[in-house]
Chain A
Amino acid sequence: MTGIRRGAVALTLLGLAGLVALFWLSFFWVSTEVTQGVVQRIFYVHVPAAWTAFLAIGISALCSAVYLWLRDERLDRAALAAAEGGLVFATIVLTTGPLWGKIAWGTYWTWEPRLTLTLLLWFIFAGYFMVRNATEDPDKGKRFAAVVAIVGALDIPFIHVSVLWFRSLHPQPVVAKVEGPTLPGDMLATLFFGLGTFTLLFFGLFLFRYAVEGLRTRAELRTRTSAA
């Protein structure tokens, strides 16, 4: 087993154990929020999924930018693996959020800035995979996709500040504040545990996905060699 695979197995197993513990903390340990009641518990998967999606998309954009500069195939593989993770976690954000919103706001969806910008990010990254496979020349597809990843990542700061700049149904930040977090201790601990768990799971599966692309390159190289 290669170093990457060993790392992937260790991180994924840690992440899975963390996920079980996070579910237990969310359902049986953390106190119930007074105003929203039990539905606020969606917060402990919704926010970590959003953080992980932004981290993954950030990694994809960074690798894409350096790929455009150095044209190193390993960077393209990393960008692709991170983009896939980003899309998965963004889908979690966009499906768990409306379930929470239905109880808290009375509607599954509203075209307010944060929701709209997050949906836009999802579409941009869905487009990343379409652009990648839409060209006859694979290298051209990789370059186009790299540009899409960079443009998509530019949306993330706007998603973050949208609740401050515009009138929004989304609450103001309760953790990332200048004066410090305003969450009770047990809620903050559960949230940070969730952030750690989702990050571990992402990096574990990201390494596996990166290994898949490495094997695909080897397989394609072998096919080309045997054909020639």
Chain B
Amino acid sequence: MIAMTLRPVLRFARLPILAGALALGAHMLADPLVAQEALPGSQMARQSLRPYWHVFAAYAIVIVLIGGWAFSIARRLRSLEERLVD
């Protein structure tokens, strides 16, 4: 029932969400390009999109490893609690 009610709202909101995500992405990508214009030629080569992937990968590793540890602890905790209840 709730899903039926929300479906048209979500369909309507899909476009603004997509546009917002694209605008945010464009903003994040555009900043270093603007900065390049002010940099001397020797430093321009250093500015590319490659460092962004390294930064995103590093932050993703943090989420995966801490989340993985938390998930593993939760799984062991639940299994032991069930064993003690039985």
A interface with B by C-beta (< 8 Å)? 12, 19, 23, 26, 32, 37-39, 41-42, 45-46, 49, 84-85, 88, 91-92, 95-96, 99-100, 102-103, 201, 205, 208-209, 211-212, 215-216, 218-219, 222
Contact = CB atoms under 8 A, between A and B. Distances in A.
B56 to A, nearest CB: 9
B76 A39 contact: no
Contacts of A208: 70, 73-74, 77
B69 A88 contact: yes
B18 interface: no
B47 A37 contact: yes
B69 A103 contact: no
Interface size class of B (residues with CB under 8 A): 20 to 34
Contacts of A216: 80
B66 A99 contact: no
B70 A212 contact: no
A46 B50 CA distance: 18
Nearest to A211: B77
Contact of B69 (A49, A84, A100): A84
A39 B47 CA distance: 10
Given A37-B46, A92-B66, A205-B70, 18 more contacts: A38-B55, A39-B51, A42-B55, A45-B58, A45-B59, A88-B66, A91-B65, A95-B61, A95-B65, A96-B62, A99-B61, A102-B54, A103-B50, A103-B54, A212-B76, A212-B77, A215-B81, A219-B83
Interface centre among A19, A26, A37 (most CB of B within 10 A): A37
Contacts of A19: 62, 66
Contacts of B76: 212
B62 A205 contact: no
Given A37-B46, A103-B51, A96 B61 contact: yes
Contacts of B65: 88, 91-92, 95
A219 B80 contact: yes
